[in-house]
Chains A and B, each alone.
Chain A
Amino acid sequence: MKTDIRDKEKNIIERKNKNKFKDNKLSKTLLPMLVPIGMIFFSFFVGAIIMLIFGYDPIQAYVSLIRGAFVGNFNITQTLLNSVPLIFTGLAVAFAFRCGLFNIGAEGQLYLGSLASTYIATAIILPAILHVPLILIAGALAGGLWAFLPGILKAKTGSHEVITTMMMSWIGVFLSSYIIRNILKDPRTDLPVSKTIYKSAELIKIDKILPIPALKGTRLHIGFFIAILTALLIWYILKKTTIGYEVRAVGFNPYASEYAGISIGKNIILALFISGMLAGLAGSVEIAGLHHKLWDRYSAMYGFTGIAVALLAKNNPIGVIFAAILFGATQAGGKSMQLDANVPVDMTDILEGIVIFAVAAEEIIKMFIRAREKRRLAQIGTT
């Protein structure tokens, strides 16, 4: 009789442990994905309320938003095109974040990358097989250098990278403005624009290599695949290499890492350098793939939107791809929303703002979910 009761108790404890294990697994794999998705829907709901308040039809607006972002070869390629620079800048911010650093100067690093690439692409002629890699490397190095300086400052003097990357960013933006107008400028025009890059420096358009009729005449270029490969590479570096491990360790707990023999300074410099390289690549790929010339102030704030992309992706390189596509889609679909639903273009900015806000507030939601789980577990325990 007594053993029977003991067995029952054992059973309950086992079941409790099993449940606990299951819950942990759920919260580990599903929650990080579900919460951002939920937050996006929540943001669109809030957006709908705002539209209703101002007398717009939210259903029509969202239908045209989705149509403008994903229906038809032009719209879908525009969404992907929009996402290309955002994947790079999103990765840049995410990588630095993993080391506990907030690189908010991706905009300036992007311009430095654009400058270096444009210079190489307009100054020398090489076979495409050499020219394209060379301009990508030049762009990455220039962007990296621009973030390397704040890295050194942070590692040696402890000056905060939020200040230094931001300041360097504006220096970069205006420096490139000066260089475009005075050094790279096409002498045959008064416009603030560089010479057109040589054909050998252009990234191939996808309709040239893939015989898909739907892609014919679209502007999508292989930069999109380069972006995705870069995201996979960054994921690999972070997860599978010593460099990635050290960077993450410093981000997780710098003092413990130092105790374990990992240099904080070295990893801060390295993380910001790689972060800057990624932002620089955003500029290179935009110039070589899409614009083929460098206009002054051409970037649509890609460096800053990258922060939102990284936030939404929870600094996960693979997540960055999807987050960037989401932002690319809202921008592409926003045009249709303007045309079909007569919702002003500013509504897309508002939507993006709410998404960022909601993602930033995500921790609060998580707290509720955890509290709820705890209560549920407690209930299981008492029965």
Chain B
Amino acid sequence: MNFLKKTIFTILTLSIIASLSLTLIGCPPAEEAVEEPTPTEEPTPTEEPTPTEEVEFKAAMATDVGKLGDKSFNDGVYAGLEKAEAELGVEIDVVISEQQTDYVPNLTKLAEDGNNVVFAVGFMMGDSIKEVAEKFPDTYFGGIDISLADADFNPIDVPNIREILFREQEVGYLAGVFAGMMTKEDSIDGINADNVIGMVGGMKIPPVDRFIAGYIAGAKSVNPDIQIEIIYTETFTDPAIGKEAAIAQYEAGADIVFQVAGLTGVGVFEAAVDKGNYAIGVDVDQSISSPDNAPVILTSAEKFLTQATFLTIKDALEGNFTGGDTAYGLENDGVGLSPFHEHEDIVPQEIKDAIEKAKQDIITGTVVPPETPEEIE
């Protein structure tokens, strides 16, 4: 017994000493690490006069609370960073926000670290990006889905913030046309006879509402009697709540549920798998980003976040950065309905034609989808 105690005690003491020495040792290598670039730089002049040094350009993003791995919003922006890394040789970084209170410190940290372009992802980061951008006037900021406003909610522009906005209502409209027609095709496995479709929104904020408004308008344009169930989950981060909401809608007769809820939306797909019905993805082509759920994802209402992020970095790198609103819609390929993939064969040609027609109507301005659900009433 005594021997055992002694052994455990020795192990503990040793580990304390070891961790002490680890932290102590930890410091010198840090200095070495800082010095390290000098030796690596030395061989460079022999080859050519350090061109890599001048082009060193850093871009980074702070996720919203949906974090990386949401298979939509944050992942889409990160893919844009990766594209810039691969094609432009930009150094990239990402910091995860665990809660809303992280936004300001995370953005500040990224600006302090000398990043040239810093992305804030999501409407909810509007106040934070404004606060930080004022303190770092020489850093460019890209606010995905962010429309800046002053304390009285009047829209404002800040020269070093690009507000990267999408006309979600346009692709929402296409999704509505698609779902409104598909729900009548009850010969297809998983489509029932009820003239009901569903919609799960993360929060009642403008970008989500633009999707919803377009969806309702699109569905009613092809199917005036359709019933559309809408639930706001009030969270973008809880798949369990998303699943509950979607199950309620499938139970109410919906066969296709469109989700605009970030990570919460993953639960909608799970519900579709359980109930044997279908869902429509959002932000990125979720049949690809969430392959496990591909059999239930008919299509996705895409915002080309990756491209918008990439272009913003490219503009900043080439000295063409402009602040203020930059809107992406159908006509400049900023939004679009993703391919049907494995469902290509079950979607009737007339539906594909109707979507194409709606798309042309929106581009030519014949159809102007509403921006808020309230406009439809």
Contact = CB atoms under 8 A, between A and B. Distances in A.
Interface of A: 38, 41-42, 44-46, 48, 58-60, 62-63, 66-68, 72, 74, 78, 81, 188-192, 196, 217, 219, 290-291, 295, 297-298, 300, 332, 335-336, 338-339, 344-345, 365, 368-369, 371-372, 375
A45 B98 contact: no
Interface string B1-21: 010010011001001101110
B33 A42 contact: no
B276 interface: no
Contacts of B109: 68, 74, 335-336, 339
A72 B151 CA distance: 31
Given A48-B22, A63-B30, A298-B100, A339 B113 contact: yes
B52 interface: no
Contact of A60 (B9, B33, B151): B33
A41 B26 contact: no
Contact of A38 (B8, B16, B113): B16
Interface string B84-120: 0000000001111011111011101110110000000
A192 B95 CA distance: 25
Contact of A345 (B29, B96, B234): B96
B104 A338 contact: no
Nearest to B113: A339
B124 interface: yes
B95 A338 contact: yes
Q: Across chains A and B, which 6 residue pairs bring their CB atoms closest together, nearest first?
A: A45-B19, A41-B19, A63-B30, A368-B9, A345-B96, A300-B99
B204 interface: yes
B60 to A, nearest CB: 8
Contact of B112 (A45, A62, A74, A196): A74
Contact of A42 (B19, B104, B124, B203): B19
A368 B9 CA distance: 7
Contacts of A372: 9
Contacts of B20: 41
A42 B99 contact: no
A299 to B, nearest CB: 8
A91 B209 CA distance: 43
Query: Considering residues B33, B98, B113, B234, which has the most beta carbons from chain A within 10 angstroms of its beta carbon?
Result: B98
B98 A300 contact: yes
Contacts of B96: 338, 344-345
Contacts of B9: 368-369, 372
Nearest to A300: B99
B23 interface: yes
A361 B123 CA distance: 44
Interface residues of B, number: 47
B29 A45 contact: no
A72 B9 CA distance: 39
B105 A191 contact: no
B124 A191 contact: yes
Query: Considering residues A42, A60, A290, A369, which has the most beta carbons from chain B within 10 angstroms of its beta carbon?
Result: A42
Contact of A298 (B2, B98, B101): B101
20 contacts: A45-B18, A45-B22, A48-B19, A59-B30, A60-B29, A62-B23, A63-B26, A67-B30, A78-B108, A190-B205, A290-B101, A297-B100, A298-B100, A300-B99, A336-B109, A338-B94, A338-B95, A339-B110, A339-B113, A365-B12
Given A63-B30, A78-B105, A291-B101, 20 more contacts: A38-B16, A41-B16, A41-B23, A42-B16, A44-B23, A45-B16, A62-B26, A63-B29, A67-B30, A72-B112, A188-B152, A189-B153, A191-B124, A290-B101, A335-B95, A339-B110, A345-B95, A368-B5, A368-B8, A368-B12
B15 to A, nearest CB: 5
Nearest to B151: A196
A335 B97 CA distance: 9
B99 A191 contact: no
B105 A335 contact: yes
Contacts of B108: 74, 78
Contacts of B102: 300, 335
A218 B25 CA distance: 32
Given A190-B205, A336-B109, A59 B95 contact: no
A339 B95 contact: yes
B297 to A, nearest CB: 27
Given A60-B33, A192-B234, A335-B109, A45 B26 contact: no
B78 to A, nearest CB: 13
A291 to B, nearest CB: 8
Contacts of B205: 190-191
B148 to A, nearest CB: 13
A339 B93 contact: yes
A59 B25 contact: yes
A382 to B, nearest CB: 16
Contacts of A81: 105
Contacts of A58: 22
A188 B151 CA distance: 10
Interface in B145-165: 151-153
Nearest to A293: B127
Query: Considering residues A59, A332, A375, which has the most beta carbons from chain B within 10 angstroms of its beta carbon?
Result: A59
A295 B205 CA distance: 14
A55 to B, nearest CB: 17
Contact of B26 (A59, A78, A336): A59
Given A196-B151, A345-B96, A42 B26 contact: no
Nearest to B111: A74
A71 to B, nearest CB: 10
B294 to A, nearest CB: 27
Contacts of A42: 12, 15-16, 19
Query: Considering residues A67, A81, A345, A375, which has the most beta carbons from chain B within 10 angstroms of its beta carbon?
Result: A345
A192 B26 CA distance: 44
B210 to A, nearest CB: 12
A190 B204 contact: yes
A363 to B, nearest CB: 13
Contacts of B12: 42, 365, 368
A230 B9 CA distance: 38
Contacts of A72: 112
A60 to B, nearest CB: 7
Contacts of A59: 22, 25-26, 29-30
